Amino acid sequence: MELAMPARLELFGICKAYPAVVANDDISLSIDAGSIHAILGENGAGKSTLMKIIYGVVASDSGTISWNGEVVKITTPAEARELGIGMVFQHFSLFPALTVLDNLVLSLGANKSRQLIAETALEFANQYGLKIELDRQVYSLSVGEQQRVEILRCLMQNPKLLIMDEPTSVLTIESIRELFVLLRSLAADGCSIVYVSHKLHEVCELCDTATVLRRGRVVASVDPRTETSASLAKHMIGDLVVSVRTASPSTSWDERFGVHNLHRSAAGDFSITLININLNIRGGEILGIAGVAGNGQAELLEALSGEWIAPKSDIITIDSIPVGLAGPASRRTLGLAYIPEERLGHGAVPLMTLAKNALLTGEKSKFINNGLIRFGVVEKFTWSCIEKFGVKSGTPTTEAQSLSGGNLQKFIVGRELLHEPNVIIAAQPTWGLDVGAAIAIRSALLEKRGSGVAILLISEDLDELFEICDSITVISAGRLSPIRPVNETSTEEIGYWMAGHLPQSGEIEPRPTHHDV
Amino acid sequence: MAAIAPLSAALLTVVGGAILFSSLGHNSVDAFRAFFVTPVSDLYGIGELSLKMAPILLCALGLAIGFRGNVWNIGAEGQLIVGAICGGGFALALGKIDGLWVIPAILLTGAIGGMAWASIAAVLRTRFNVNEILVTLMLTYIAGLLLSYLVYGPWRSPTGFNWPVSSDLAASARLPRLIPGTRLNLGIVMSIVFTGCAWLFLARSHLSYRMEVVGLAPRAARYAGFDEHKLVWTSLLIGGAAAGLAGAIEVSGTIGKLREVVSPGYGFAAIIVAYIGRLHPVGIFFASILMALFYVGGEQIKVTLGVPSAITGIFQGMLLFSLLMSDVLINYRLRWYHNRPIATKGNTHAVS
């Protein structure tokens, strides 16, 4: 370092090996005060481990950390916070049964009154444009809203170095803009930001240095402002990125999945009432539903998957067969596959092996004989899923919770697709995934589309929606916007609708002209 | 790995027992011999051990199946008592009627009685979301009082000198003895067969898999389309059937009549056994031997050393607490903080 001031944080030769894998192999990097430093890498590249070492959650096997020029030993998150390191985790660490304020008080309230914390929280929330209701219970918040609480909690500790692990995965375009403004202003005040992300264009836009990890090693240190998404991606995955191409428009398939006049009253104070939902998806078509988290997606997904039973049978149809009164297993028998947003606990049982998780949705297949499980068949299926979908470090006996998010998602997608569905419902299928995994999953969906499967894609990632969907609609406050073919709309229009400006039904809406998303 | 906690718990219990005996003024070695060795040093003793093992094993297996699915039936004792009432009552009603079907019918009645008792908890849980822990526990006391009422009242033997006992069951209603010179009866065979069935059920059946998913990840179970209510019912009915069967075996095999107390807490001991056995049939099999040894050892030591047989309960308690302690210490590390203000700052990041 030739700078007069020592770097805020420097790592020298950090190594960390787990029994099965070397997560960090001789990692050195330096982060200056006030810089926004990106850590890039595929799932399993060792980013999370490195962050946990900095934050004192995991102890490194060797290597040193220096903080403002002094060598420090960080053995607990509390010590990290004492130094001024804050972290927003990818997996949230909030108590679901408590309110937002309770959660804040629990982490920050040792010497402060509840009232003071509430005031400070609102102050911060206003200052940074984070919309937060302090009295709501965390379980009732959407993933996006929970993340806002996490960010707020971190900011309230006035960190000198803020680690953001995949912070924008669930934010809307507008919130991302606001977050960037916030991060830049924090950086301008001298707070360093470590920005862990898979979203390359964000890194290019926001960060001033980037360290790229691959298989636990530093493979490149670059200035992302002079790089393109493609060149960064090349560093990350080592070979050329193949972009997903939108296949040709679908041909003459019939309607395979239909929703007709679906109404669903809100179950509690914080759930959304669904109002007059109508959709139909033909075979070979991908319909995208865009929307800000917490606008009825969860309620809609429950109704579509059968976790919530409709009052009438013909409200939901699969290949023209009314299934509104059928549960998830019966709908699956008719060819429905569902990839839920939450991987651990919803799409997979965390404590069970991959083989047993393969069995989760395989009731109709050859897995069961006279009520007994045919473990040989299940294991073969699991292997083929692991191999076909590139689930790294997975075997049939691996526990689901020990896989990284991306690999578990590949497994879940693979499991659902291998059952040869007619209709696929995918909720945020590439949430938090690296480029390679996201492309693999989108390609798999497109391939199914090519073979005449009807696909419903619920996502908050507009790039993704515009990349693979044939038509797009927006869900806002429990209502759907008109459905538009993807080439007859724009991110501006969809963004405008996502912000809550749905056109009244029946009205021919003028294209918005005067906004700036 | 799974065996570390149960084995260290057993070891700790032995050490605790040694301290206990010597503080009572007995030579620990003698006391241990009286407790653990003498009772099983002859055929009769082994018969007694197996006799106590059978109901414990049955109840523990039934409970473990439920526990794996997070259905907390802790009222096997009550289900056992109702099984005894139903099986015993049916046998009394049959009187001297003979036939090959008599004993199976008595056992079946007992199992149905246990299921009926457990189904009260199932209805309350699935219809009204009432916690099954409380319901099954409280129903145990109701079952005990019901049995008291019957043996003090309508079913009291006219020839029983006013003791609260029923008439003796007819010979045709008694489980056949297996080995002459012991009291060992067919019950132990049935419980071992049941162990095999439970093993097959837990290891291979899709039903057991579904129950486990409901217990581990209820949302994943809903996603898969498993019917949670049905699985709660199944858990409780299996537990009730096993305990009810144990009750009928006790009455038809060991005791030969109904009396105020038909079980010295087998149903509660079974909870400990299920956990010492790590909810696995093989583990439960061995844990039930240990628990049965506590029972026969307790009786033996009363005779030889004059120690109250309540020692059995103390050993059960020590075993349970040692197990809980071992589990905690295996999963977590104790850390001592001295003058560390950080420790009280209390940011409890539950880091994954």
> Would you say B48 and B315 are in contact if contact means Cβ atoms under 8 Å apart?
no
Find the Cα–Cα–Cα–Cα dihedral A324, A328, A334, A338, rounded to 10°: 110
Tokens of A128: 């940074």
> Would you say A442 and A464 are in contact if contact means Cβ atoms under 8 Å apart?
yes
From B142, B95, B280, select the one nearest B203 (Cα to Cα): B280
Chain A residues with CB under 8 Å of B211 CB are: none
From B304, B259, B309, select the one nearest B88 (Cα to Cα): B259
Indicate the average pLDDT of chain B: 89
Q: From CA B41, how far away is CA B52, in angstroms rounded?
A: 16
Partner-chain contact A78 B342, CB within 8 Å: yes
> Would you say A135 and A101 are in contact if contact means Cβ atoms under 8 Å apart?
yes
Q: What percent of chain A has pLDDT over 70?
A: 89
The pLDDT-based confidence of A433 (bands split at 50, 70, 90) is: confident
To the nearest whole Å, the CA of A351 is away from the closest chain B CA by 7
Kindly state whether A355 is in contact with chain B, defined as any CB-CB distance less than 8 angstroms. no
Secondary structure of residue B39 in the 3-state scheme: helix
Indicate whether A172 pLDDT > 70: no
Partner-chain contact A360 B220, CB within 8 Å: yes
Tokens of A92: 């949230």
Chain B residues with CB under 8 Å of A52 CB are: 351
* Burial (CB count <10 Å: 0-12, 13-18, 19+), residue A515: exposed
Q: From CA A278, how far away is CA A316, in angstroms rounded?
A: 10
Kindly state whether A97 is in contact with chain B, defined as any CB-CB distance less than 8 angstroms. no
pLDDT tens profile A441-499: 999 999 999 888 999 999 877 888 888 999 999 998 899 999 999 888 887 788 778 77
Q: What Cα–Cα distance (Å) separates residue A316 from each residue in A37, A261, A331, A422, A469? A: 48, 9, 10, 14, 21
Secondary structure of residue A429 in the 3-state scheme: coil
Specify the pLDDT at position B52. 94
Indicate whether A252 pLDDT > 90: no
CA angle B109, B113, B116 (to 5 degrees): 135
The amino acid occupying position A262 is L
> Would you say B310 and B329 are in contact if contact means Cβ atoms under 8 Å apart?
no
Q: From CA B122, how far away is CA B63, in angstroms rounded?
A: 14
The amino acid occupying position A126 is N
Q: From CA A17, how far away is CA A225, in angstroms rounded?
A: 33
Specify the pLDDT at position A241. 44
CATH number for the region B42-292 comes to 1.10.3470
Specify the pLDDT at position A304. 95
* Burial (CB count <10 Å: 0-12, 13-18, 19+), residue B192: middle
Choose among B217, B227, B347: nearest Cβ to A78: B347
CB atoms within 10 A of CB A63: 16
pTM, to two decimals: 0.72
Assembly ipTM: 0.80
Specify the pLDDT at position B203. 92
Partner-chain contact B216 A81, CB within 8 Å: no
Indicate whether A416 pLDDT > 90: yes
Q: Mean per-residue pLDDT for B10-26?
A: 87
CB atoms within 10 A of CB A201: 13
From B307, B287, B267, select the one nearest B30 (Cα to Cα): B307
Residues of B with CB under 8 A from a CB of A: 204-207, 209, 212-213, 216-217, 219-220, 222-227, 342-352
Choose among A107, A329, A352: nearest Cβ to B216: A352
The amino acid occupying position A358 is A
Give the sheet arrangement for strand A255-264, strand by strand: A274-282, A255-264, A316-318, A321-322
> At which residue do the structure tokens 């390609």 appear?
A443
Q: From CA B274, how far away is CA B281, in angstroms rounded?
A: 9
Q: Mean per-residue pLDDT for A251-256?
A: 74
A337, β-bridge pairs: A424
> Would you say A482 and A509 are in contact if contact means Cβ atoms under 8 Å apart?
yes
Q: What is the DSSP string of B253-312?
A: IIISS-BS---SSHHHHHHHHHHHTTT-HHHHHHHHHHHHHHHHHHHHHHHHH---TTHH
Indicate the average pLDDT of chain A: 84
Nearest chain A residue to B347 by CA distance is A107
Q: What percent of chain B has pLDDT over 90?
A: 58
Secondary structure of residue B18 in the 3-state scheme: helix
Specify the pLDDT at position A412. 94
Angular region, B293: left φ>0, alpha ψ -120 to 50, beta rest: alpha
Nearest chain B residue to A301 by CA distance is B223
A188 half-sphere exposure, CB direction, 13 A CA radius: 7
Q: Mean per-residue pLDDT for B8-24?
A: 88
Lowest-confidence segment of A176-185, A404-413, B97-106 by average pLDDT = A176-185
Q: From CA B208, how far away is CA A352, in angstroms rounded?
A: 13
Distance of CA B116 to the CA centre of its chain: 18
Q: From CA A146, how far away is CA B119, in angstroms rounded?
A: 40
Q: From CA A465, how far away is CA A426, in angstroms rounded?
A: 12
Q: From CA A283, how far away is CA A330, in angstroms rounded?
A: 20
Q: How many residues does chain A have?
A: 517
Secondary structure of residue B117 in the 3-state scheme: helix
Give the sheet arrangement for strand A70-72, strand by strand: A22-31, A9-17, A62-67, A70-72
Q: Mean per-residue pLDDT for A159-172?
A: 80
* Burial (CB count <10 Å: 0-12, 13-18, 19+), residue A510: exposed
Q: From CA A351, how far away is CA A96, in angstroms rounded?
A: 20
To the nearest whole Å, the CA of B205 is away from the closest chain A CA by 4
Nearest chain B residue to A364 by CA distance is B224
pLDDT tens profile B31-83: 888 888 888 888 888 999 999 999 999 999 999 999 999 999 999 999 999 99
DSSP state of A509: P
Find the Cα–Cα–Cα–Cα dihedral B187, B189, B191, B196, rounded to 10°: -170
pLDDT tens profile B144-177: 999 999 999 899 888 878 888 898 888 888 988 8
Partner-chain contact A345 B219, CB within 8 Å: yes
The dihedrals phi and psi of A346, each to the nearest 5 degrees, come to -120, -60
Indicate whether A281 pLDDT > 90: yes
Cβ-based neighbours of A462, under 8 Å, separated by 6 or more: A173, A290, A491, A494, A495
DSSP state of A370: T
The dihedrals phi and psi of B7, each to the nearest 5 degrees, come to -70, -45
Per-domain residue ranges for chain B? 42-292
Specify the pLDDT at position A271. 78
> Would you say A221 and A29 are in contact if contact means Cβ atoms under 8 Å apart?
yes
Specify the pLDDT at position B342. 43
Choose among B224, B347, B348: nearest Cβ to A360: B224
Secondary structure of residue B79 in the 3-state scheme: helix
Q: How many residues does chain B have?
A: 352
Most confident among A390-399, B18-27, B206-215 (mean pLDDT): B206-215
Specify the pLDDT at position B145. 96
The amino acid occupying position B43 is L
To the nearest whole Å, the CA of A253 is away from the closest chain B CA by 28
Tokens of A497: 């609708």
- CB contacts under 8 A, A 333-352 vs B, are 338, 340, 342, 345-352
Tell me the H-state helices in A74-172: 77-83, 100-108, 114-128, 143-155
Secondary structure of residue A368 in the 3-state scheme: strand
pLDDT tens profile A483-516: 999 888 887 788 778 777 788 654 444 444 444 3
Sign of CA dihedral B111, B113, B116, B118: negative
Q: Mean per-residue pLDDT for A413-439?
A: 88
B249 half-sphere exposure, CB direction, 13 A CA radius: 30
> Would you say B65 and B243 are in contact if contact means Cβ atoms under 8 Å apart?
no
Strand A454-458 and strand A423-427: pairing?
Answer: parallel
Tokens of A85: 């390191």
Sign of CA dihedral B60, B66, B68, B74: negative
Q: From CA A404, how far away is CA B352, in angstroms rounded?
A: 12
DSSP state of A337: E
B223 half-sphere exposure, CB direction, 13 A CA radius: 28
Q: What percent of chain B has pLDDT over 70?
A: 95
